[in-house]
Chains A and B, each alone.
Chain A
Amino acid sequence: MNSRLASIIRKEFIQIMRDKRTLVIILIIPIMQLFLLGYSATTDIRNVPLAVLDQCRCPESRALLDAYRAADYFLLAYDVGSEDEIRILIEQGDARAGIIIPPDYNAALAEGHAQVAFILDGADASAGSTMLAAATLIGQEHATALMMEKLERSGMDVENFQPPLEVRTRVWYNPDLVSSHFMIPGVIGMILFAITSILTATAIVRERERGTIEQLIVTPIRPWELVVGKVLPYVILAFIDTLEVLAIGHWWFGVPVRGALWLILTCSGLLLLSGLGIGLFASTIANTQQEAMLTVWMTLLPSIFLSGFFFPLEAMPKVLQWISYIVPLRYYLVIIRALLIKGVGIPAIWQEMLALSLFGLLILGAAAARFRKRLD
């Protein structure tokens, strides 16, 4: 290898190894993020506390409540005497939902037009919509069961009665729809991108901040050698982080790794180009490590939100969807989710790979053009 390049890589490694605190942070942060997001960023809901106002207190109303109890979405936590109590419980956050069964429920049921009210706390929109779907579904199923009973009583042959249409759903790849299988590939992408861009920017700016750049300028080292030599050690760290997250995701959270490992690492390498490019670009703007960090964050946050990491891109306004096409992380998330969970090969992801490479080279090229081995 080029000896100047080797020297600078060697020097950078010595410095990384001497700065134990930073090293530990670099290696531990991904694990923390993984556990946090793996467990917290889940849209699965269970045991929502439900306040019950049963004004009928008849066998029919108990049957309805049993139906809600049976599905473990709701926990019949409070038995209340008035609507006001439901309101207070929801306001205080003790209950997230309430059900009101009117006094004439059994009579109305017999006549075929009974109604119950279901109140939901919609403050948390995503949990609210899941609760709404669950509450409606449970109610409808109970209504169907009641109808069947009625038909049977009227002398119909219910055994052979079939609804004319049945939708049979089959979920591929992630049959239990476990949220963490969706989140963890995203965490890999986010960490790779964040670590490389932040570390690249601060590593280069540090030379400027501490004045060491002044000595480097006077040496015959070429700008590209300086950049590559400084950044390569951090690329290696980023790859260690990737493998770390992949291993924990697989063995702890049970995320499948169905695609080829070499392809996963190749695509991760393509994402690194963009991360390095943004980091290098920030380093040409910033004079202190703090400025560099903030500059990177300015691109990092929108990248994460517009990548489909938390929220599906399909649900976003058209304008944001268009903007998302210039977010490299977006392409990587499509790739990594497909690779890990579906186990696809290059034919399924070549377009995203191409986009990722183009963006990476473009950003890196623009940053390299701005990078100068000078003080002004």
Chain B
Amino acid sequence: MLEAKHLTKSFGLVHAVNDISLNVKAGQTYGLVGSDGAGKTTTLRLLVGALRADGGEITICGHDVRRQGEQARANIGYLSQRFSLYEDLTVLENIRFFAELRGLARDEWLPRCLKILDFVGLAEFKERRAGQLSGGMKQKLGLASALVTRPKVLLLDEPTTGVDPVTRQDFWQLIIRIAAGGNVAVLLTTPYMDEASRCHRVGFMRGGRILAEGTPSELRASLEGRIVEARGPSLPELRKTAANIPSVEDVRAFGDKLHLRVAPGRARTVIRDLKGDGAEARLIPPTLEDVFLSLAS
């Protein structure tokens, strides 16, 4: 559905996107994860054609974005990071406007709009001006307007940033339902690891490159047997002790615990050393966050 090969884009001397290739199939959710400035938004903007790539190829539903831009765009639904609908139009007017621009006939758009508003849970707010919606509702409106023409490819740029936890759950239920239909390829960016773990595939971005890519379990498997959780009476003391063990590569505090990343095959000795110092220690399954941090360092 969505395929990009060797995309590059520079702004002056900055390589915002540096040789990125990715492939999202119908029914799949692909999460692009990375910190701010990693190049996630630029990648999405290249994919929708809002920016022109310096090099590389993008194909959407078999249409080359550069040569058959309009056909390719007809299959795209895009939710930008910044709210990009009209604040002085009502919810319904916004959806109608974008539905019409995408060629929905007059007798088609209204039932479709109402259905989609119902789907995202905005039906009762359809006459409200978009500017008066809350942050989460604005994102839902953006999603509704991106979905109204039933796109084959859905691109969501940090859809849940700045959205409250309850709405975030709602939002994810919507995304999961869309992908579960089996017809839509969803590509989203997120700074949150818990969201990344809900995707079928995850790509870790840093400095304009995808450092690692795979299913969440594949990615986690790369650190299997290397993450040790430690707990002790004094966390600062424990931290110092752990950092002094040679085979410990990284120490991070998680609440009242420490996560230690240890060199391959050294977990057993590290646990024994820690226990000898009177701390509790055990091997735990790695999280995506552990994977991301190990890649980032």
B is bound to A = yes
Would you call A375 and B51 a contact (CB within 8 A)? yes
Contact of A18 with B by CB under 8 A: yes
Contacts of B77 in A (CB 8 A): 218
Contact of B226 with A by CB under 8 A: no
**Which residues of chain B from 54 to 101 have any CB-CB distance to chain A below 8 Å in the complex?**
70, 73-74, 76-78, 80, 82-89, 93, 97-98, 100-101
Most central of B45, B76, B84, B85 by chain A CB within 10 Å: B84
Would you call A7 and B100 a contact (CB within 8 A)? yes
Would you call B145 and A215 a contact (CB within 8 A)? yes
Would you call A214 and B50 a contact (CB within 8 A)? yes
Interface residues of B (CB under 8 A from A): 45, 48-52, 70, 73-74, 76-78, 80, 82-89, 93, 97-98, 100-103, 145
Determine how close the nearest CB of chain A comes to the CB of B212; give it in whole angstroms.
29
Contacts of B84 in A (CB 8 A): 210-215
Determine how close the nearest CB of chain B comes to the CB of A245; give it in whole angstroms.
29
Of the A-B pairs whose beta carbons lie under 8 Å apart in the complex, a sample of 22, sorted by A's number, is A4-B100, A4-B103, A6-B100, A7-B100, A7-B101, A8-B97, A11-B89, A210-B84, A211-B80, A211-B83, A212-B84, A212-B86, A214-B45, A214-B82, A215-B85, A215-B98, A216-B101, A217-B48, A218-B50, A220-B70, A374-B49, A375-B50
Report the nearest A residue to B87, measured CB to CB.
A210
Would you call B51 and A376 a contact (CB within 8 A)? yes
Contacts of B82 in A (CB 8 A): 211, 214
Most central of B85, B97, B101 by chain A CB within 10 Å: B101
Contacts of A221 in B (CB 8 A): 101
Determine how close the nearest CB of chain A comes to the CB of B144; give it in whole angstroms.
12
Would you call B50 and A15 a contact (CB within 8 A)? no
User: In the assembly, what is the distance between CA of A211 and CA of B81, in Å?
Assistant: 10
Helix, strand, loop or mixed for chain A's interface? helix
Q: A211-B84, A215-B85 are in contact. Are A7 and B97 (CB under 8 A)?
A: yes
Report the nearest B residue to A213, measured CB to CB.
B84
Would you call A220 and B78 a contact (CB within 8 A)? no
Most central of A7, A213, A222 by chain B CB within 10 Å: A7
What would 17 more interface pairs be, CB under 8 Å, given A213-B84, A217-B48, A222-B70? Answer: A7-B97, A7-B101, A11-B93, A14-B89, A15-B89, A210-B84, A210-B87, A211-B82, A212-B85, A212-B86, A217-B49, A218-B73, A218-B78, A220-B74, A220-B101, A220-B102, A375-B45
Contact of A3 with B by CB under 8 A: yes
**Which residues of chain A from 17 to 62 have any CB-CB distance to chain B below 8 Å in the complex?**
18-19
User: In the assembly, what is the distance between CA of A10 and CA of B98, in Å?
Assistant: 12
User: In the assembly, what is the distance between CA of A317 and CA of B4, in Å?
Assistant: 61
Would you call B88 and A218 a contact (CB within 8 A)? no
Contacts of A15 in B (CB 8 A): 86, 88-89
Contacts of A212 in B (CB 8 A): 84-86
User: In the assembly, what is the distance between CA of A213 and CA of B87, in Å?
Assistant: 13
Would you call B74 and A11 a contact (CB within 8 A)? no
